[in-house]
Amino acid sequence: MIANEHVNKTYKMGEVDLKVIKDLNLTIEHGEFVAIVGPSGSGKSTVLNLIGCLDKPTDGKITIEGIDVTVLNRTDLANFRGQNIGFIFQSFNLIPVLSVYENIEYPLIMIQNLPKDERHKRIMKLLEDVDMLDQKDKFPDQLSGGQRQRVAIARALVTNPKIVFADEPTANLDTDTSNQIITLMRNIQKEFNTTFIFATHDEKIVTAVDRIITLVDGVITDDKRVAS
């Protein structure tokens, strides 16, 4: 479970304080498929960065899987992130000099000290899951947008994270490819009970999720469960 209690985030811009998240109280249960929506600049990415442990709140408490992550130091936070959280970005963020296989392997080498044959098994299974087995030796610039995002999804999942944060994951994809990617993530959520949290403007994602949280000017103005 993820619990935010009285979370605030203020950016200092010279003399000016920019308060972008205001008294956020939000609980997300295991295995939820949820979208955070709202106008540009409303604070969606900031919330994702805070609960994704990429950034720290100015004050308030964030508990993930029973651990208060706001008191962890940088090293412990990075370890916690590596063990529990996966990220998918709109720009895919693949490493251009690494092959598809090596891009997926990268977090396992950086974060989790797994033996090579165990790494291989996990990567091959994920390549199959995202239907990229026949592309495993290609490099990112030899792939389509949808294929790149499938690799990014496999990379986000290879550490078996409990939670995946996806910031506009379909922004650079056409409608059919977006729908395929959303279905892929939904299937993974069902199979592994992985929590997926999206920040998005994409109606295709909004109509696919079970819960929609609306953020306006750093405040939750609506939080509703929907039949998808």
Ligand X SMILES: Nc1ncnc2c1ncn2[C@@H]1O[C@H](COP(=O)(O)OP(=O)(O)OP(=O)(O)O)[C@@H](O)[C@H]1O
Q: Where along the sequence are the contacts to ligand X (CB under 6 A)?
A: 11, 13, 18, 20, 38, 40-46, 199
> Tokens 């993530």 label which residue?
185
Task: Report the half-sphere exposure of 128 (CA within 13 A, side-chain side).
Answer: 6
Tokens found for residue 137? 């030796």
What would the DSSP string read from start to end of 83-139?
HHEEEEETT----TTS-HHHHHHHHHHHT----HHHHHHHHHHHHHHTT-GGGTTS-
Shortest spacing between CB 37 and ligand X, in angstroms: 9
Shortest spacing between CB 168 and ligand X, in angstroms: 7
Cβ distance to ligand X smaller for residue 176 or 203: 203
Shortest spacing between CB 172 and ligand X, in angstroms: 14
Cβ distance to ligand X smaller for residue 98 or 216: 216
Shortest spacing between CB 223 and ligand X, in angstroms: 16
Cβ distance to ligand X smaller for residue 46 or 189: 46
How far apart (Å, rounded) are the C-alpha atoms in residues 167 and 171? 9
Cβ distance to ligand X smaller for residue 40 or 73: 40
Tokens found for residue 173? 């994809």
Compute CA distances 215 → 55, 60, 139, 163, whole Å: 18, 18, 38, 20
Cβ distance to ligand X smaller for residue 55 or 102: 55
Shortest spacing between CB 197 and ligand X, in angstroms: 13
Count the helices and strands in the chain (H runs, E runs).
7, 10
